[in-house]
Amino acid sequence: MAERQVAVDALGEPRFRARQLSVHYFGRFTADAAQLTDLPRGRRDLLARELLPALLTPVRTLTADEDMTRKTLWRLFDGALVESVLMRYPDRTTLCASSQAGCGMACPFCATGQAGLQRNLSPAEIVEQVVAAARVAGRPSNVVFMGMGEPLANYRAVLTAIRRITDAVPDGLGMSARGVTVSTVGLVPRIHQLAAEGLPVTLALSLHAPDDELRDELVPVNTRWPVREVVQAAWEYARATGRRVSIEYALMRDVNDQPERADLLGRLLRSYDRRGWVHVNLIPLNPTPGSRWTASRPRDEREFARRLRDAGIPTTVRDTRGREIDAACGQLAAQG
């Protein structure tokens, strides 16, 4: 708010205009000059243009699940493309947001990873994805940083965006930090940094393999921070924050879905003594066109989940929404 006050002051306006504009944007989800009716008529266009600029331009929106799932491809001011997915359920609304245009982690089964990194998103570009969702379906109950990009590789912008999302209106959107999930492939120093922020957000670790030999191939950053070190960092995050960590595991046919790997994952997660510290989220892979990576057979998926549960690890299989609208992150952007 202090920075917004400086901005309105530079335009020759009284500082209380910052609060007025913030109420409109964070409380009413509007940046339309015509709706800024508590501002002087002759100044509305200027204030909206200078302080509420258009950050995202919709290129294409696809819907599925009787309009309960909406995927939007956005063009940023410099032509970069990013995606967000809005998912509505009977009891909640979740936005999957992007933190980067592209991604530099180079995971071979991921459309975004194969596109490479174009640039980081600004905090405003991240927050605007949430506000755009709120204009469609009201303030989301959950925001998951599982869209395009590695959130912890754009750490400062993502943390700033989270604080804007969770600050009370009019300083921010007024969401609960417990409704925010930050996904990472395992940037260990940033996991430790996030644990010290004092924000009770959920950490989701994209593991995808319980052994270094396979994970080196699936998640190349594993060669720097191997499986045991990454899982240790996740456990320390749970211990420091009191928040249960989610282990994300994309099941790929005949690659990482063997029974012995389920058993290895179960032993790995059970080796930590904090009760209830972890939950495994099995993800049926949404394959990209022409990719050799494809989803596991249903029977293998069921067996993998059963073995984890028998090992005492809480396990669910993610709801597979939006396959018909290319809902895997990066698929729309790859099409342009």
Q: Which of 96, 103, 110, 329 is catalytic?
A: 329
Q: What is the signed CA dihedral for 24, 164, 75, 21, rounded to 10 degrees?
A: 20
Would you call 83 a catalytic residue per the annotation?
Answer: yes
DSSP state of 75: E
Would you call 329 a catalytic residue per the annotation?
Answer: yes
Q: Are 152 and 182 in contact (CB under 8 A)?
A: yes
CA 128 to CA 136: how far, in whole Å?
Answer: 13
Instruction: Take residue 233 and report the two structure tokens written for it.
Output: 């960092």
Q: Which of 13, 83, 150, 301 is catalytic?
A: 83
Q: Tokens 């060669």 correspond to what residue?
A: 223
Angstrom distances, CA of residue 226 to CA of 185, 207, 216, 220, 245: 11, 10, 8, 10, 18
Q: What's at 314, amino acid-wise?
A: P
Q: Determine how many CB atoms are found less than 10 A away from the CB of residue 14.
A: 10
Catalytic residues: 83, 329
